[in-house]
Structure 1
Amino acid sequence: MTVPEAWEGAGFRILFVCTGNYCRSPMAERLARSALEPFPAIQVISAGTHARPGRPLPEPTRRALARLGADPEGFLSRLLTADLVAAADLVLTATAAHRSAVAAQHFPAAARAFTIAEFGALARAVPAAEVTRHEDPVRRARALTERVCALRGTVPVDRLDIPDPNGRSRWAYRAAGRRIARSLAVPLRLLTLGPRP
């Protein structure tokens, strides 16, 4: 497997996936990047199962991100590839169907692929001390992922999928952005609590 250029230099790689890499996964990527900016060893990118590469964000996605305090500038869409999936340490998808598409690209990744909502719900069940006792951000990310993997199937998750706002009202974009932000809040807090490197 060749590590894609997008992943070079990362210590822990998080990949967000949706359909067009146009609305949901870019929102998740930019929200996570904003929180993880002080931790460059944790790298975050996104891709779409049916993306047309090189597309900028549509205005409703840009506005929703800006309202959430994340930077929408400079984003260009990326097509999901087997190499991206294989190189990712954690894959978070907009829907269960996207999670299945990830496994179809690279079956071993199924063990470390979750919907965004699923990962957020499972992370809430992880005792914070099991993650935050690690000062190194990469070890912390690995500890969180391992604990969440161990909890899979033991914690009920309400609504696995984040609905696609593409082509809908600005309120649909805002609702998707808020749901993504809520789902990522606990994982990002666990990764960023405590002393900074």
Structure 2
Amino acid sequence: MPFDVLFVCTGNICRSPMAERLFLARVAADAPVRAGSAGTSGLVGHAMDRPSALVLRELGADGDRHQARRLTASMAESAHLVLTAESDHRAAVLRLAPMAFRRTFTLREFARLGASSAASAPSPTADDLRVRVGEIAGLRGFTPPVAPGADEIGDPFGAPTDVVRRVGAQISEAVDAAILALGLGAR
């Protein structure tokens, strides 16, 4: 059974599909993972926002054929790791699936916590990845606090392209750090 990662934002047309597609483009091809995305207020059936799709291409991934989905309890419950753009999204996930607490983080929080400890398995199995998420969850409260907003990725919807590029850079950096935190090889 593969390890399932779910990326969550508001509309599922900017941040979460960018993170999903970057993750899939950068994780090793033989890694036992799948990724998807959804929005807390998902604009069901919509394609990626054009500026976000442009920035995603600049970052080396493809947003073609993306169709926005609305987050459901079953999506959150079945994911082995849920990574959100903002803490409000994390709270929305936990309202739908309270038992997902130990595997739900903001993307930047997971990257930050995972950077504070090394992954152990060189070629992790799906079971190793589930264990790793638990290890990272166990670090909550044992790492120095961060400035308010430091774990948030702002919404670029309707913003100028330079803002979308800054958000894309934040997502790109956090996705790379999450891949490293999980101990997954990169392409």
TM-score norm. by structure 1 comes to 0.86
Identity of aligned residues (%): 36
Contact 2:13/2:43 (8 A) holds in 1: no
Structure 1 letter corresponding to 2:132:
L
- 1:120-131 → structure 2 map (5 Å cutoff): 120-128=111-119, 130-131=120-121
State the Cα distance separating 1:137 from its structure 2 match.
3.4
State the Cα distance separating 1:103 from its structure 2 match.
0.3
**Among candidates 121, 125, 143, match of residue 137 of structure 1:** 125
SS of the equivalent of 2:82 reads strand
Structure 2 letter corresponding to 1:62:
A
State the Cα distance separating 1:186 from its structure 2 match.
2.2
RMSD, aligned CA: 1.8
Counterpart check, 1:106 vs 2:87 = no
Contact 1:28/1:181 (8 A) holds in 2: yes
TM-score norm. by structure 2 comes to 0.90
Contact 1:86/1:109 (8 A) holds in 2: yes
Counterpart check, 1:77 vs 2:68 = yes
- Give the 3 Å change call, closer, same or farther, for CA 39–126 of structure 1 in structure 2: same
Residue 192 of structure 1 is matched in structure 2 by: 184
How many residue pairs get aligned? The number is 183
Counterpart check, 1:150 vs 2:142 = no
Residue 30 of structure 2 is matched in structure 1 by: 39
SS of the equivalent of 1:101 reads helix
User: What 5-or-longer segments of structure 1 have no aligned partner?
Assistant: 1-9
Residue 174 of structure 1 is matched in structure 2 by: 165
Which consecutive segments of 4 or more residues in structure 1 shift more than 3 A?
A: none
Distance 1:177 1:193 in 2: 21
Counterpart check, 1:48 vs 2:17 = no
SS of the equivalent of 2:183 reads helix
